[in-house]
Chains A and B, each alone.
Chain A
């Protein structure tokens, strides 16, 4: 409401800036004339002459030149003042007034409403994720546990239980402290080392800090098969620009994984995006994160804007923004529209393997298994002869559970 009020005041100010000069009855506007300038030029010739910058003969000639202009200017100034004052250009004034009073507010509103987002309420990703899943009254429980731990600070198990709740509440710094204490009290093992590292990463906005990295290294040394440590060491490598190392670590993780491991899609997604310049969201392969898949990383249908997020080279940010602002029905329509355009494009030109991959994935995410299967079949037909591409189609089909 306040926003609209301010918009109104701003519009009024703009209209006023146009109307005010039109309303003023002044007949005279201060303005310079050439006469002064020519006088000054005459003075300057004198100065230049005394400084030796112009010969005396030339100075005289220059004086004549300037004087001639001076006289002409003075005469035209006199005739201008003798002439009747110019009449107001009535029709132009009316047009300007109309433009200011009608076209300006209307046009500005139309342009602004089509470009701006006046009713914009941002959705915090974390809030959407956490709020729904946490039972009511959790803050109270946390406060009780905190009070208990204050009196019994040596209860390592208590800290260990409290830490994930802190993470879910977004209290990352507290989570780091809790896990640090748990590690201190209960002694190091791969899981505790990794948990602390993860909390540090989350607290530093997804950056694997040197401290976190050394924790993961210790975890990995304790248990070479620790998934979390491997994932974060890969992320650390990626963040430090060692892409090959990240690729190696993550590929190894995937190849070692048993079928259907809950963290598998996350690592695969990280692998798929390894060349993205955008930062990888640091959603960890821990229990907390797997239970609440973040919208940014991987999402089964139902989280916001699913298809666009899972298809790597998806639509641009503004389309995503638009999609998220729409009502669910409209959003599905828009997403389906994009998918059908893609399908049409693939039907016309089937040589683009990435397009096929995107299409199959999109169908699968939208829950249209039949279409996904037929798209996979079409893709195989269109790409026949290129083993590498066929293999990629096969892999995706397997990953999405379309076959075998």
Chain B
């Protein structure tokens, strides 16, 4: 009964979405308040019904109801409880349901908190949001129905893909989807503005927090996915330029650009047209990111299933939404009024510079990802565009951007003084030079690019702090002054500093991790020892363990440095009988500060030895730590009170809040 309730709730959500996609838009055109108001209650009801559907599917997974085909295909009664929850979205159908759940949630949030939005804008936004939702409800019901039943109740399910039986699945997809779907808000606002033919001043104030929220989630989602690939796939890489990874990177790049251009729009009313275009592009890239994986054109770890009908449906959805919104943009954008003026050297220009480079980097990734697919479709030639292409194009594009990062926040609005800013950055420059020289002194010419990379990372970090140091008057050395000034600064300024600093941290991790990573591949017998970068690992023997739904063979290692035991490592292989012997590699990680020892098992040989890959990855954790701190910077900025004017706030009382 429960799955049928979920199924029907989804159908009702579709029906409501269809009404919501037409009536409020008509109400906005005719000025009928009741019709506009309708969007609020339908958006809330829609969310309630999708939540019922999602809860029903979750219930089926937790109780292992194998009469539901989706549960049978992706679950197992012996699976630990947490994976029963996560396997709800560890498959195509369930993940689509999660996608629409988040979409409906955002719609409901606008309906609930958007009391001080202009009524027509709100009605149009919710209508546009509903167009997207309707398409996806239809897609789910017709081609990917998670509530399909099996006539004969199987005794046992087919288990979740072992690679997905990991904590990573609990975090990575929901975060990523919150990011992708979050950008749908920016999209809906952009399309609504185009339909209305003018942009309200509140527009940017609304779009900015939503974009920020989506960006934070996407940042964390990508970082989590990267770390997951690092420890689960067993060969120590953290980014593979895999098409699917690129698909999540593209909306991130565009979203980062959108975030920055929205600042200009919010403060100065400039860059309106460009911001609207970016909002459309970012969500389009999110759609591509979600669906490239499922249309059958790509195959990778992320591919859940391929089906021609599904692929066609997806292509139609992509064409309608991306093509439609871009056409609308081409038609309506010329009518939008331009805003404030600015000089070539100014904060505004710095943000334009940032946007240009981010957009170009994004375009590079786009070409590198889609060109091979296109070529194969048209000519049948298979080419592979790998890391060399991206390292050669993406890298050089990011270097000027990173150099410019410290300059941006120091430039004044409207007209800036580049020379003055350069003078203020002298200290940061000195720090960078010091880093460069030290690396060069230790490493010589072995790794030519590393000293420059480290210098750049130090420059970004020091440059981010420079502004703060001046504004809180750190040199006054009076704790009282510093504290008072620090508390007085708007949180968005702190957010900028933290996020820019974190960018430097990530860069440092990338440079160190790739330059000084050392690796050994050996075959060891029990009691033998292997050494790498000052760590001695002795192989004590194999251990067999019985998991709830897998069998594990682990190699037990004792790690010593200079004779003292600092820990044990147990890399293992898990075999899943219910998946016919599919196996996963569980790498063992030993963290020392922000560096890691990484040990992964290979095959066992006839002579009783076992193949091993051992890596020492100095500073590698900085990569993800940087991303987390970056997201934290975003959160700080999001918590800035002043950004909430006209933005999510329960009460209707609007009082400009002076923050300083």
Contact = CB atoms under 8 A, between A and B. Distances in A.
Instruction: Say whether chain A's binding surface is mostly helix, strand, loop, or mixed.
Output: helix
A30 B652 contact: yes
Contacts of B33: 26-29, 86
Contacts of B31: 86-87, 89
B151 interface: yes
Interface string B463-490: 0000000010000000000000000001
B158 A278 contact: yes
A48 to B, nearest CB: 6
Given A93-B35, A116-B8, A14 B119 contact: no
A329 interface: no
Nearest to B656: A40
Contacts of A73: 201
Interface in B620-660: 642, 645-646, 652, 654, 656, 658-660
Given A62-B268, A92-B27, A21 B4 contact: no
Contacts of B5: 3, 6-7, 10
B581 A14 contact: no
Interface in A253-279: 276-279
Query: Interface size class for chain A?
Result: 35 or more
Contacts of B37: 21, 24, 26, 29
A38 B201 contact: yes
Contacts of B158: 278-279
Nearest to B137: A111
B16 A17 contact: yes
Given A29-B119, A242-B581, A96 B202 contact: no
A214 B660 CA distance: 75
Interface string B33-51: 1111110111011000100
Interface residues of B, number: 93
B145 interface: yes
B7 interface: yes
Contact of B202 (A14, A34, A52): A34
Interface string A272-302: 0000111110000000000000011000000
A13 B52 CA distance: 13
A141 interface: no
Interface in B139-167: 141, 145, 147-156, 158-159
Interface in A49-65: 51-55, 57-58, 61-62, 65
A82 interface: no
Given A20-B41, A22-B38, A89-B27, A122 B8 contact: no
A126 interface: yes
Contacts of A44: 267, 642
Given A48-B413, A116-B147, A241-B582, A34 B577 contact: no
A34 B201 contact: yes
A117 interface: yes
A239 interface: yes
Contacts of A124: 152-153, 155
A40 B645 contact: yes
A44 B26 CA distance: 37
B471 A51 contact: yes
A290 to B, nearest CB: 19
B340 A65 contact: yes
B149 A120 contact: yes
B205 A37 contact: yes
Interface of B: 1, 4-5, 7-9, 11-12, 14-16, 18-19, 22-23, 26-27, 30-38, 40-42, 44-45, 49, 52, 67, 69, 77-78, 115-119, 122, 141, 145, 147-156, 158-159, 200-202, 205, 267-269, 340-341, 347, 412-415, 471, 490, 544, 546, 551, 575, 577-583, 642, 645-646, 652, 654, 656, 658-660
Task: Name the 6 nearest CB pairs between A and B, nearest first.
Answer: A241-B581, A86-B31, A324-B151, A32-B116, A89-B30, A17-B45
Given A62-B413, A112-B11, A206-B578, 18 more contacts: A10-B5, A17-B16, A17-B41, A29-B119, A32-B654, A86-B30, A88-B32, A96-B19, A99-B18, A115-B145, A124-B155, A208-B577, A241-B581, A279-B156, A280-B580, A295-B152, A317-B150, A321-B150
22 contacts: A3-B5, A14-B12, A18-B42, A22-B38, A24-B37, A29-B36, A31-B115, A37-B200, A37-B201, A40-B642, A53-B347, A55-B414, A86-B32, A89-B30, A92-B35, A93-B34, A112-B8, A116-B7, A124-B155, A241-B575, A320-B152, A321-B151
